[in-house]
Each structure stands twice: as structure tokens, then as C-alpha cells.
């Protein structure tokens, strides 16, 4: 089924077109959502919500001349995921409220000027703004590309790249501040001998 046939079937509510989506894209979307940090059951629920949305809207916003179907479908699925996170605070958040959400420490170490002490990074992350925590998590915790993050956040890949660089610069500054604090404290605590 080519993209124009698919669009026509979706727009008219043809069950075969929706069956084609389920057979062709369900596992791919669920895997992408899992990469985004959702458990399998959560990813399946989001995919179900996505299908309901597609059916209820007849995919009217899909234009085969503008976007490849998969890109459009991923955007719809990521938007459903973000809606779920906002609606249910107990769902796993993409913001790094705690450092444990950062899954791949080596990618940060390799990318930015040598190894960082994991404990220092854990202590530094909560001091970042939520937006900075989110982009660091998406880029390094979930290893998403700038293009994938741009679809999730609704920004251009260039804007995402700048956001990531700024967030990592702030994280580096905070790590250095925490690392230097004990040395400054020890230096200040050594009062000259008054005797």
C-alpha cells in the first residue's frame, strides 16, 4: 500500500488501512516508546491510545505529500506519550528528577571532556532546570538523536542541539562547583595559628 492509498483509506475510515498500520508499525512504535523510557505495558497502552486517536480523527492531519507516514505516526505517538506523562504524574517522567534516570553514563563521559565522577553527576543533575534535565535525559539517557528529540519537543534539530550543549555546559559547571566545594571548605577551615 503506497502512502497516497494509505492516506485515502485512513481518511475514509477503511478498517483495512488501520489493520495495515497495526500489522506494519505496532512493534516499531512500541520499541521506540520503550527506548524513550517506558515499560512495555506503558508503551502498549500509549500505542492503543494512539490508535484510538487515529481512528477518531481519521488521520485528517496526515498529508502524504508533506511527510513520510512513519515520521508523522512517530510524532503522533510521541505526542500521546507526552500527554500521558503530563496527565499522570505517577507515570515515569522524562525529566531527571533523580539521577537514576540517566542510564548511559559512558556516553556523557565519552562526549564531554573525559570521565566525570558518577556521584558528582548524580548530585549535580537535580540542580538543573527541568528543561535541561529533560534534554540531557533524552539525548544521553535514552540516546535519541536530535531529530527524534525535535519531534518530541516540537523544536528544530538545531534548536535541540543548542539546548543540549547549554544543558551539558550547565551540568559541567555544577559538577565542577560541587567538586571544588570540599577543597574550598578545607582551605577556609584552616585558620592561621594564633599562638
- Higher-confidence residue: 124 or 97? 124
Query: Total domain count for the chain?
Result: 2
Q: Which of 11, 104, 31, 128 is nearest to 74 (CA)?
A: 31
Last residue of a domain, one of 29, 57, 87: 87
- 40 and 119 within one domain: no
Domain CATH for 25: 1.10.1740
Domain CATH for 123: 1.10.10.10
- 111 and 178 within one domain: yes
- 23 and 70 within one domain: yes
Backbone CA torsion sign across 87, 62, 34, 25: positive
Whether 12 shows a pLDDT value over 90: the answer reads: yes
pLDDT score of 192: 43
- 103 and 77 within one domain: no
Is the entire prediction scored with pTM above 0.85?
Answer: no
CA 156/CA 149 separation, integer angstroms: 9
- DSSP one-letter code for 192: P
Residue 32 backbone class (left: φ over 0; alpha: ψ -120 to 50; beta: rest): alpha
Domain that holds residue 36: 3-87
pLDDT score of 87: 65
Model confidence over 33-53: pLDDT tens digits? 888 777 888 889 899 989 999
- 106 and 73 within one domain: no
pLDDT score of 47: 92
CA 117/CA 108 separation, integer angstroms: 11
- 125 and 168 within one domain: yes
- 82 and 8 within one domain: yes
CA 77/CA 83 separation, integer angstroms: 10
- 118 and 39 within one domain: no
pLDDT score of 71: 86
pLDDT score of 11: 92
Model confidence over 79-110: pLDDT tens digits? 888 877 766 544 333 333 333 344 444 444 34
- 73 and 116 within one domain: no
User: Rounded mean pLDDT of 2-8?
Assistant: 88
Task: Give the DSSP letter string of 48-116.
Answer: HHHHHHHHHHTTTT--TTTS-HHHHHHHHHHHHHHHHHHH-TTSPPSS-SSGGG---HHHHHHHSSS--
- 74 and 20 within one domain: yes
Whether 195 shows a pLDDT value over 90: the answer reads: no
- 139 and 79 within one domain: no
Amino acid at each position: 500500500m503506497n502512502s497516497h492509498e494509505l492516506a485515502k483509506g485512513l481518511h475514509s475510515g477503511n478498517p483495512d488501512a488501520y489493520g495495515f498500520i497495526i500489522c506494519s508499525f505496532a512493534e516499531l512504535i512500541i520499541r521506540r516508546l520503550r527506548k524513550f523510557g517506558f515499560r512495555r505495558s506503558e508503551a502498549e497502552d500509549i500505542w492503543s491510545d494512539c490508535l484510538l486517536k487515529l481512528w477518531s480523527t481519521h488521520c485528517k492531519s496526515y498529508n502524504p505529500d508533506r511527510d513520510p507516514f512513519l515520521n508523522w505516526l512517530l510524532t503522533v505517538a510521541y505526542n500521546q506519550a507526552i500527554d500521558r506523562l503530563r496527565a499522570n504524574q505517577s507515570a515515569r517522567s522524562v525529566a531527571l528528577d533523580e539521577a537514576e534516570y540517566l542510564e548511559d553514563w559512558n556516553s556523557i563521559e565519552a562526549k564531554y571532556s573525559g570521565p566525570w565522577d558518577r556521584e558528582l553527576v548524580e548530585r549535580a543533575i537535580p540542580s538543573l532546570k527541568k528543561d535541561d534535565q529533560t534534554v540531557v535525559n533524552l539525548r544521553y539517557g535514552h540516546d535519541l538523536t536530535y531529530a527524534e528529540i525535535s519531534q518530541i519537543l516540537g523544536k528544530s534539530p538545531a534548536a535541540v542541539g543548542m539546548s543540549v550543549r547549554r544543558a551539558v555546559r550547565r551540568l559541567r559547571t555544577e559538577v565542577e562547583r560541587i567538586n571544588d566545594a570540599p577543597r574550598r571548605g578545607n582551605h577556609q577551615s584552616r585558620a592561621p595559628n594564633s599562638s
